[in-house]
Amino acid sequence: MQKVLALLAFLMIPFAAIKAQDATDKMNTNATPPPIVKSSRDFVMVNFLYYNWLTKPDSVKVKAFGFSFHASLCYDFPIKKTKLSFAAGLGINASEVYLNQQVMRNTDSASYVAGSVRFMPNDSGYKRYKFVTTYIMAPFELRYFGNTNNRNNCFKAAIGLEIGTLLGGHTKAATTVDGTKVNYKIDTKRYITPWNFAATARVGYGNFTLYGSYNLTNVFKDKAGPPITPFSAGLCISGL
């Protein structure tokens, strides 16, 4: 009789295993599915910034408002399994500042010091006078993401360095002649520093961060203009 019971118990083992597996499958079916990983690398970065000259001689007069626009594509390299990453990219940086009742003289003649930019009174009565620079730039960042599984919905911060090479620069004056609006534009790269270096920082949440930069180089070449150091601050929109 004991042998019969033992045989029946042995034959029931596969059915017990199947029943246990069915119970496990049912539990897995009812369990919450794993979250979808959204590994945004902040591939696209667009900055809308206030721009002005932070340090300058008292003889240089600028208006309170200036504007800068940055757009870049960056590739993000995660640092192993940490919440840190390193990013490098390529983009463009266009900045403009408005002079206050002044103009820039940068033509070489007997009446001026050759090879140097001068800031002179606006004797021509221009209504608006601005100075614009455009750089091709390479941003580099050390980044922190609060949630590596969903970078579009977490705290993030970054510090970095922007290296730019001069693409173009010009002054533009607006006036009215016989009731007609006239703009005078003078292209110049001779006096502007050909390489631009700026320290940068970002902090925010999700796809929106506050951005700031401080130039480590002057606007003009050494001895080609007054020592002027720009800065910018504003909103950075990032994603992908």
- The rounded mean pLDDT for the chain is 85
Burial-class residue 99 by CB neighbours within 10 Å (0-12, 13-18, 19+).
buried
pLDDT tens by residue, 197-207: 999 999 999 99
Q: Could you report the per-residue pLDDT of 97-114, keeping only the tens digit for each?
A: 999 999 998 765 444 455
Residues 133 and 185 both lie in one domain: yes
Report the alpha-carbon distance of residue 23 to residue 29 in Å, rounded: 10
Average pLDDT for residues 72-77, to the nearest whole number?
95
Is the torsion defined by CA of 140, 145, 150, 154 positive or negative?
Answer: negative
pLDDT at 9: 47
Question: Residue 10 — pLDDT band, cuts 50, 70, 90?
Answer: very low
Give the long-range contacts of residues 117-126, CB within 8 A, separation 24 or more.
117/191, 117/220, 117/224, 117/225, 117/226, 119/59, 119/60, 119/61, 119/226, 124/173, 124/175, 125/175, 126/173, 126/174, 126/175, 126/184
Give pLDDT, residue 39.
62
Residue for token digits 């757009």? Answer: 71
Residues 195 and 81 in one domain: yes
**Is 9 inside a domain boundary?**
yes
* Total number of domains constituting the chain: 2
In a domain, 36, yes or no: no
Give me the percent of the chain exceeding a pLDDT of 70: 80
Q: How much of the chain exceeds pLDDT 90, in percent?
A: 65
Q: Check whether residue 14 and residue 104 sit in a common domain.
A: no
Same-domain pairing of 183 and 113: yes
The length of the chain in residues reads: 240
* Residues 14 and 67 occupy one common structural domain: no
C-beta of residue 83 within 8 angstroms of C-beta of residue 112: no
pLDDT score for 137: 97
Least confident of 115-119, 190-194, 213-217: 115-119
> Band of the pLDDT at 18, cuts 50, 70, 90?
very low
pLDDT at residue number 29: 52
Phi first, then psi: what are they for 89, rounded to 5°? -160, -165
Return the pLDDT at 177.
86
The number of CA neighbours under 13 Å toward the Cβ of 23 is 6
- What does the pLDDT average to over 19-43? 59
pLDDT exceeds cutoff 90 at 173: yes
In a domain, 201, yes or no: yes
**Is the distance from CB of 199 to CB of 230 less than 8 angstroms?**
no
- Checking if the pLDDT of 162 tops 60, the result is yes
| Together in a domain, 80 and 199 | yes
What pLDDT, on a 0 to 100 scale, did the predictor assign at position 105? Answer: 85
Same domain, 8 and 72: no
Band (125; pLDDT cuts 50, 70, 90): confident
Q: Reduced to 3 states, what is the DSSP secondary structure of residue 1?
A: coil
pLDDT for the residue numbered 129? 96
Rounded Cα gap, residues 87 and 198, in angstroms: 16
Closest CA to 133 of 22, 236, 60, 217: 217
Q: Is the pLDDT of residue 94 over 90?
A: yes
185-194: b or e for each residue (b if 16 or more CB lie within 10 Å)? eeeeeebbbe
| Per-residue model confidence (pLDDT) at position 148 | 82
